[in-house]
């Protein structure tokens, strides 16, 4: 049986095989340690694929270009990341 992190990496590899223009990643990295997450996100950035990442993890949110915070039904704020 695969661990949660291994399962995430297999699903990501399957998505990349299709050569998408945009990837929507919803809590994809929550089962990975930070070093593996950083390696994967650095590799994804080099591909030029657009990424929409949903995460509660501060380290993941800190590695993006733009942050959109959502409320109950609408976007509460949008800002360029530092």
pLDDT mean over 55-60? 83
Q: Which domain holds residue 66?
A: 4-80
**What is the distance between the alpha carbons of residues 30 and 56, in angstroms, rounded to a whole number?**
9
Number of domains in the chain: 1
Residues in CB range of 22: below 8 A, 6 or more apart: 49, 50, 51, 52
pLDDT score of 49: 92
pLDDT score of 14: 94
Reported pTM: 0.74
pLDDT score of 82: 59
Confidence of residue 4 (pLDDT cuts 50, 70, 90): confident
Task: Inform me whether the pLDDT recorded for 63 exceeds 80.
Answer: no
Whichever domain contains 60, its CATH number is 3.40.50.300
pLDDT score of 17: 94
């Amino acid at each position: 049986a695969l661990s949660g992190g291994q399962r995430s990496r297999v699903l990501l590899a399957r998505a990349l095989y299709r050569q998408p223009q945009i990837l929507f990643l919803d809590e994809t990295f929550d089962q990975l340690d930070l070093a593996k997450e950083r390696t994967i996100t650095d590799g994804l950035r080099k591909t030029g694929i657009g990424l929409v990442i949903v995460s509660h993890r501060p380290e993941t949110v800190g590695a993006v270009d733009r942050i959109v915070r959502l409320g109950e039904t609408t976007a509460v704020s949008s800002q360029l990341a530092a």
